[in-house]
Amino acid sequence: MNVLIAEFIGTAILILLGGGVVANVVLKDTKGNNSGWIVISTAWALAVFAGVTIAGPSQRSTSKSRSHSCQSSFK
């Protein structure tokens, strides 16, 4: 997958899940109404994890050359 597309999809998932949980906690007549900050924090953490998991494999191929050069400079 192209790096730009992976970043776009990962960010979209992050915003979709994060905004969704905030809407669930804030809006009336939802199951998560007034659940509190711990629900929002936990869901945002899971949203970041999901975004990184989706975009991460495409970043791995570009970061291998950079990590190799950094490791050789510390020897």
Contact in structure between 20 and 38 (CB atoms under 8 Å) = no
Rounded to the nearest 5 degrees, what angle is found at the Cα of 68, between the Cα atoms of 4 and 6? Answer: 15
Cα–Cα distance for residue pair 39/26, rounded to 1 Å: 11
Tens-digit pLDDT string for the chain (75 aa): 788 898 999 999 999 999 999 999 999 999 999 999 999 999 999 999 999 998 887 766 555 555 555 555 555
By residue count, the chain amounts to 75
Give me the pLDDT at residue 30, please.
Answer: 93
pTM of the model: 0.69
